[in-house]
Structure 1
Amino acid sequence: MSVQDYFFNPTDEQRHQLFLNSLNRSGRSEDFQNILNLLRPPHEIYQYAKPMTLENLKIGIIGAGLSGLAAAYELRKLGANITIFDAESNRIGGRIYTSYYNDSKDFYVELGAMRIPVSHETTWHYINLFNLETESLSSPRSNNFIFVDNVRVRRDFSGQSITDNIYPYYNLTESEKNTPWNELSDYAAETMLDSLTPEMRTEILKIQPQYSEEYSRITKLSNRQVYEQLGLSQSAINLISAVEPFTAALLNTSHDETMSSIYSFDFLNTYRIKGGMVNLPLAFFDSLNNPNPPEFQYDTGILGKVSIKLGYVVNGIMKSSDNKVNIIYDDPNNVKLMDTYDFVVCAVPFSVLRTFELSPFFSELKMQAIRELNYIDAHKTAFLCRKRFWEENSPYGNINGGISFTDLAIQSVVYPPDHIRCLSEGLCSADSPGVLIASYNLGQDATRIGGLNIYRKLETIRKDVEKVHGLPDGYLNTLIQSYRTVHWNAEPWFRGAFAVAYPGQKVNFLYNMLLPEYDNRVFFAGDHVSVKPGWIQGALYSGKFVANQIAMQTITV
């Protein structure tokens, strides 16, 4: 399979082959069908209810992120009268947040979700449904940097540059010194996953009331605790955290999150939607506002009506006396209003739901999860640069796509993938403008950088980018034309980037987080109530799943 075969718009067969190749290299080919089965979209809603079943019912959906949009898309098939509320006044899509630098949309940055793994079947289901174009983020010649302890090396496939040049700065044991970087990193990240049988590994992608003792034990351990149980020294843990700063940000979270990303290879063979990830929520938006959506294969006369209210801030959910549900909200003029619905889908993060007025409270475990579920902070700042210094033929350049990592507070630098497909140097010029994600960081570093005033933030990031690339101080001053930035903890309608469970939170909460409330009238959707928190897959799957739940509920009412 050549580069051009899979770079644009891969077929399902090509995606599956890429995924199987990765599993074969890891000796886990037996996981292939299990993972695809668990990540494929829930059944078609017509398997649970007939068209027009919901014709006379009103459904309120709180949140116009992908889970809310997917739920509306599916419920509309049954004729429901749907109202979607979202506090954002000028965009939809939730944590999909594409920011354009000009009206022609030539240059943009993904301030939110930016990757689609080949194994995420539900995401690809909707991409294919709306005929969206995709392009690979995998670069055969990324040539990125690792900049740790003021030592700069190129990332190489074998990891030898880290073993030779960065190991000496850490007080490793003799055994650790003699373990090549790739082996050390894999030992830390994959040992627990490999200790489970293929059947036990499927529990990583399941929501159920109880799990096996072996799997439960691992989910109750943090990444740091796992590393310590594996016998790694604190210096080795420090080394791993420096070279892999996202690991550092997740040291105290459940090791299940790490196992999940490795199990389905979430960071290998990833794609993006051409022209911006926002094209996915916009496709939903266009369809929901179209009486005859082109992708719909059935009689469009059965479709329900959808009203999308942007700038409407929901702040309460109340059970009414007639077994319905009241949504309390402020309109764009801050006038407090209340509407009544037969069913409600709560598709906002628990970090936002935490401040809702709930009457009565939800079940005890649901309320505990709303209070305790951990959300990690994230920050991104991107520079539109006059030229692509990182692509120049120089000691600081020769980079095309990929990510550089550092132990500095910016944590990572993400390079645009739009020149990856240039198979000869003459097709794409380093002198052309480009968008560089100058800082993408998680956890405490996101809070520390994101909390700076804009001048100090941009200065700190600029200086760190120059250090990572070995550029003189001030070199970027004449290259930066514009910037975009987001600090997810400070976004009022998110209050965190995405849910990352602490040890034990999945086995203690996740099953109950998904259960409906108010006598099966309030349902919950979002990546946080899925097996793929932080991913588009989790949001879309949960939206389609909750639509099916409501369809089944109407049969029994």
Structure 2
Amino acid sequence: MSEQKPVTAFGPDFPFAYDDWLKHPAGLGAIPKAHHGQEIAVIGAGASGIIAGYELMKLGLRPIIYESGKFGGRLRSEIFEGTEDVIAELGGMRFPVSSHGFYHYVDLVGLESRPFPNPLTEAAGSTVIDLEGDTHFAKTLDDLPKLYHEVAVAYRAALEEHADFANLMQAVRDRDVARLKAIWDPIVEKWDERTFYDFVVSSKAFQNLSFRHREVFGQVGFGTGGWDSDFPNSMLEILRVNLLELDDHQRYIVGGVENVLHRLWRQPAACAHWPEGTTLASLNGGATLGRAVKIARNGEGGFTVTDQWDNPRSYAAVLVTCQSHLLTTSVAVDEEIFDQKLWMALDRTRYMQAAKTFVMVDRPFWKDIDPATGRPVLSMTLTDRLTRGTYFFDNGPDKPSVICLSYSWMTDALKVLPLSCEKRVELALSALGRVYPGVDIRSHIRGNPICVSWEADENFLGAFKGALPGHYRYNHRMYGHFMQADMPASQRGIFLAGDGISWTPAWVEGAVQTALNAVWGVMAHLGGASHAENPGPGELWAELGPVALPE
């Protein structure tokens, strides 16, 4: 029997093999020499901006990076005071192995990854589920009561009933484009305007179960934990997560994921035009520019970008990677640059809220064994209490380690929005005290806590996109914007990227793929193309492009 192929983030809306395009010896393509050295504005130094900048540099262009806040965007690794390597991952922290595009860059810069301590995984060691005051200790799903098994079986049955899931996943594994689109495209038409909750409750498997089963599914869910905050979302959003195994087999980046971008910023590459040893950092004088506050057309067929200090610079093209709402709140963009239908899509993008609370502790004391129970004193915890998800990060015996006391989304994140970091810690400790009575966490805490609420950050206004029913057309407009041959000349030359432009929001792979789309778009805009033996996303768009729903 042949070995089962791995699931990768291949499609399903646009099944283009980005990983193959990246690793092909011919490279991504080339631009005419007349354009070598031209400056391209890149708005945002997050994953999309730095990866796109790196690839544009290799083409012989000079990407000029603007950053309004902190280098790294939502790949934000915050170092605890007084340490060099004890970190809190405030944004992206767990990265599925199916994200081949992202791991291409992780491997390129030589960083290590390890299994993430998700619930019921070996990396977590043990898990406690606490719902409505009822607490269960488990190392695997087999240790949980029958109800939890029934929920897991029911969801798998729902996926088969509504989405022909096994065959769909096999098409992804095999990279069988024809089979994948034959199954997926009708699902788009059927489920774009229906919610995740509708998918669950309308399935035969869940109709045969109680409300309690649906409630547990929402609170505990699958993979990384509870999914009730996603119940109002378009089911297509969730299906992609399941299908591409984005919620499975996750790893974290040792030393902090932000280092991927810092290293890429300083990583020399074999480039057209530029001398050996050229880096993004060297092309930018060692530092990014500040906030971009205005994007306008200039009289030379390009763009003028003005920064916060009122310094205008002209560019042949612009790549925008910031959250879409910033284009109407923080950056003055000439309205004529985008079609009104695209403005509608950018403005209607709905971002979800998220909050995290971290503390540093003196050592991984949660591994201490309670003599009364024979179990660790604390475990990875899923609960309906304020903390929702609590994670433990072991840096080694007797070394400072980290507890993510609380990771919550949407309503649960909004509950703590106006509160100080210290108050959030107090509430989290109080909640965990009810799950683990008598366990002393406070005496182990060192330094100051670290917290984040992404919706309160003026440079983000939310954590990540969560498409509502009916938003597929909006997503299609944004994702396909890099295909500009049929656009009026006044709208060409500005490109969008970021996980919020992708089909897979909240996952860095979406940021990588849309960055690569934008790189191809810039290349085509300047008269270049991919090599014939390694066609890019634009060359294959007509063949592989997403199904177009009627307007």
Q: TM-score range by the shorter chain?
A: 0.7 to 0.9
2:521 match: 549
Q: 2:101 aligns with which of 122, 147, 169?
A: 122
Q: Which SS does the other structure have where 1:221 is aligned?
A: coil
2:237 match: 257
**CA deviation string 1:212-267 (max 9, x = no partner):** 23332123221111122115354432222223363111110111222112112123
CA contact (8 A) 1:19 1:119 kept: no
2:537 match: none
1:437 match: 404
TM-aligned CA distance change 1:350 to 1:412, over 3 Å: same
2:334 match: 359
1:491 match: 457
Distance 2:169 2:219 in 1: 34
Q: 1:372 aligns with which of 319, 344, 348?
A: 348
**CA deviation string 1:144-171 (max 9, x = no partner):** 110100111013433552436xx8xxxx
Deviation at 1:39, TM superposition (A): 5.3
Distance 2:166 2:295 in 1: 42
CA contact (8 A) 2:246 2:507 kept: no
CA contact (8 A) 2:199 2:235 kept: yes
Q: 1:220 aligns with which of 166, 186, 193?
A: 193
1:342 match: 316
Q: 2:508 aligns with which of 533, 536, 542?
A: 536
Matches within 5 A, 1:92-131: 92-102=71-81, 104-131=83-110
Matches within 5 A, 1:257-276: 257-276=237-256
Deviation at 1:455, TM superposition (A): 3.7
Distance 2:456 2:4 in 1: 38
1:49 and 2:30 correspond: yes
CA contact (8 A) 2:9 2:99 kept: no
Matches within 5 A, 1:50-65: 50=31, 52=33, 54-65=35-46
1:81 match: 62
Distance 1:161 1:71 in 2: 45
1:152 and 2:128 correspond: no
TM-aligned CA distance change 1:404 to 1:510, over 3 Å: farther
Q: Is the deviation greater in 491-500 or in 47-56?
A: 47-56
Distance 2:321 2:391 in 1: 30
Distance 1:181 1:127 in 2: 36
The alignment of Structure 1 onto Structure 2 pairs a total of residues equal to 495
Q: Is the deviation greater in 298-307 or in 104-113?
A: 298-307
Q: 1:136 aligns with which of 115, 134, 137?
A: 115
Identity of aligned residues (%): 19
1:409 and 2:392 correspond: no
CA contact (8 A) 2:102 2:508 kept: yes
Q: Which SS does the other structure have where 2:333 is aligned?
A: strand
Amino acid at match of 1:371: D
Distance 1:200 1:505 in 2: 27
Distance 1:401 1:84 in 2: 44
Amino acid at match of 1:71: A
Amino acid at match of 1:523: F
Deviation at 1:280, TM superposition (A): 0.1
Q: Is the deviation greater in 506-515 or in 406-415?
A: 506-515
**CA deviation string 1:413-443 (max 9, x = no partner):** 0111545xxxxxxxx4xx5432000001111
TM-aligned CA distance change 1:534 to 1:18, over 3 Å: farther
4+ runs deviating over 6 angstroms: 16-19, 31-37, 203-208
CA contact (8 A) 2:29 2:528 kept: no
**CA deviation string 1:448-494 (max 9, x = no partner):** 1233233432211111122233446xx33322223111111111111
Amino acid at match of 1:131: G
2:292 match: 314
Q: 1:462 aligns with which of 423, 429, 447?
A: 429
**CA deviation string 1:116-169 (max 9, x = no partner):** 2111110111112222222222652621110100111013433552436xx8xx
TM-aligned CA distance change 1:502 to 1:159, over 3 Å: farther
Q: Which SS does the other structure have where 1:415 is aligned?
A: strand
Q: Is the deviation greater in 191-200 or in 449-458?
A: 191-200
1:171 match: none
Deviation at 1:78, TM superposition (A): 2.3
1:382 and 2:382 correspond: no
Q: Which SS does the other structure have where 2:458 is aligned?
A: coil
CA contact (8 A) 1:376 1:497 kept: yes
2:264 match: 284
Q: Note the aligned Cα RMSD (angstroms).
A: 3.5
Distance 1:323 1:51 in 2: 17
CA contact (8 A) 2:65 2:289 kept: no
Deviation at 1:268, TM superposition (A): 2.1
CA contact (8 A) 1:42 1:541 kept: no
Matches within 5 A, 1:206-245: 212-231=185-204, 232=206, 234-244=211-221
Q: Is the deviation greater in 196-205 or in 272-281?
A: 196-205
Deviation at 1:297, TM superposition (A): 7.8
Q: 2:19 aligns with which of 22, 40, 54?
A: 40
Distance 1:152 1:204 in 2: 44
Amino acid at match of 1:194: D
Distance 1:198 1:57 in 2: 44
1:509 match: 475
**CA deviation string 1:86-136 (max 9, x = no partner):** 011xx4111011111145424211111111211111011111222222222
Structure 2 stretches of 5 or more lacking a match? 485-489, 530-551
**CA deviation string 1:502-547 (max 9, x = no partner):** 1221244334444157432101111112232211211122222211
CA contact (8 A) 2:481 2:496 kept: yes
Q: Which SS does the other structure have where 1:527 is aligned?
A: coil
